[in-house]
Amino acid sequence: MRTMRTLVTALAVVLTASVLGACGNTAAADKNGVTTLRYQGWPGQVILPEVADELGFFDGKIKLNWVGNTISGPQDIQSAATGQTDFGGAFAGAVAKLVSSGAPVTAVVNYYGTDDKTIAGFYVPDNSPITKPTDLVGKKIGVNTLGGQLEADIHDQLKKDGLTQEQIKTVQLVALPAPNTEDALRKGQIDAAGLSGQFQQRAVANGGLRAVFTDLALYGPFNGGPYVFRNDLIAKNPDAVRAFTAGIAKAIEWERTTPRDQVIAKFTEIVNKRKRPNEDTSALKYWLSVGIPSKGGLQSDQDFTRWESWLQDTGAVKGSLDASKIYTNKFNPYAGQSGSTGSAQG
């Protein structure tokens, strides 16, 4: 049923994107050469485009127009594909799935990843009988979305541990808002919680939980997911895409090289300044690192082929994955520079 729903959703995305593309729904520069890009944010979080905008890394060529918050990465890139927004970001496996279904989008720069400080993991209370990944079979696991990285992590870990697809399918994934997943675990509403980013860091800091496994232990450091644009927007306004990508690349390196307390202070300033309803800055203090291993968010084939087994086993793609059709580094100023790499280390 999940595979069928995925295929139906993907088909709807492609059809809608085609209709909107025919209507010419493409961001264009104004008389001053400034392009307004519509996007979705995340409550209580500051994303790289917002950092780049605040620090002037778009060089006055991009104006951001926040149209609301997204509920997940897959939803965010579907919004970009269908023309509801101009760019969106998601886990690389979800991007590969969307492009493989025929959606006219291209990935331009990585925006999240895993390093030795910023990880995703699956946590249980200290007194839980779950001690190893295979104990998750038949259990309820809270994840931020279906079809996202946490789902792929479970698949890959259990397959590595020798479980069959039928056994893996018995894991019950429960989609929960990321800010609420820790609480659901502590109240016993789920058996384990998939946590990442500042929510993982907050949960660990609160104590009483232990990791069953983490994506860092499973894969090593890696680029997790990119921002995508519709192909018609890229074709009609490449300068805007170049300015956006360069700004994100600069923001990544700013977060990498700026003292942590200064980054958190800037995040807090941005959230307070934008005055969105019902936002809480309390989780910002748990930010540890930018997470992205590659210089300036450069992409590589491995960023997408890493998820090939999960995509094939779930029926999302048939045959081998052609990563070259999914992404481009041509807009990234770090491409081709000495010492830069599009591959995650490890």
Q: Is residue 336 part of a domain?
A: no
Q: Is residue 338 part of a domain?
A: no
Query: For residue 29, what pLDDT is reported?
Result: 80
Q: Is residue 75 part of a domain?
A: yes
Segment among 115-119, 321-325, 342-346 with least mean pLDDT = 342-346
User: Which residue range is the domain that position 130 belongs to?
Assistant: 120-219
In this structure, the answer to whether residues 106 and 148 fall within a common structural domain is: no
In this structure, the answer to whether residues 229 and 307 fall within a common structural domain is: yes
pLDDT in tens, 273-303: 999 998 889 989 999 999 999 999 999 999 9
Higher pLDDT, 191 or 28: 191
CA atoms within 13 A on the CB side of 70: 26
List the structure tokens of 217.
Answer: 């232990």
In this structure, the answer to whether residues 229 and 201 fall within a common structural domain is: no
In the predicted structure, residue 13 carries a pLDDT above the cut 80: no
Q: Is residue 52 part of a domain?
A: yes
193 forms beta bridges with 123, 142
In the predicted structure, residue 71 carries a pLDDT above the cut 80: yes
Cβ atoms of 321 and 94 closer than 8 Å: no
Cβ atoms of 346 and 220 closer than 8 Å: yes
pLDDT in tens, 138-182: 999 999 999 999 999 999 999 999 999 999 999 999 999 988 999
Closest residue by Cα to residue 329 from 339, 340, 342: 342
Q: Is residue 57 part of a domain?
A: yes
> What is the pairing mode between strands 209-214 and 192-196?
unpaired
In this structure, the answer to whether residues 96 and 129 fall within a common structural domain is: no
In this structure, the answer to whether residues 234 and 100 fall within a common structural domain is: yes
In this structure, the answer to whether residues 195 and 294 fall within a common structural domain is: no
Higher pLDDT, 71 or 151: 151
Total tally of structural domains belonging to the chain = 2
In this structure, the answer to whether residues 182 and 36 fall within a common structural domain is: no
In this structure, the answer to whether residues 124 and 168 fall within a common structural domain is: yes
125 forms beta bridges with 209
Instruction: Please identify, among 219, 247, 273, the residue that sits at the C-terminal boundary of a domain.
Output: 219
- The CATH code of the domain that includes 278 is 3.40.190.10
Query: For residue 27, what pLDDT is reported?
Result: 84
In this structure, the answer to whether residues 232 and 321 fall within a common structural domain is: yes
Cβ atoms of 138 and 170 closer than 8 Å: yes
In this structure, the answer to whether residues 48 and 80 fall within a common structural domain is: yes
Q: Is residue 337 part of a domain?
A: no
In the predicted structure, residue 346 carries a pLDDT above the cut 70: no
Cβ atoms of 39 and 68 closer than 8 Å: no
* pLDDT-based confidence at residue 345 (cuts at 50, 70, 90): very low
In this structure, the answer to whether residues 280 and 246 fall within a common structural domain is: yes
Q: Is residue 147 part of a domain?
A: yes
In this structure, the answer to whether residues 226 and 108 fall within a common structural domain is: yes
Q: Is residue 343 part of a domain?
A: no
Instruction: Please identify, among 167, 195, 219, the residue that sits at the C-terminal boundary of a domain.
Output: 219
In the predicted structure, residue 1 carries a pLDDT above the cut 70: no
Instruction: Please identify, among 195, 219, 243, the residue that sits at the C-terminal boundary of a domain.
Output: 219
In the predicted structure, residue 72 carries a pLDDT above the cut 70: yes
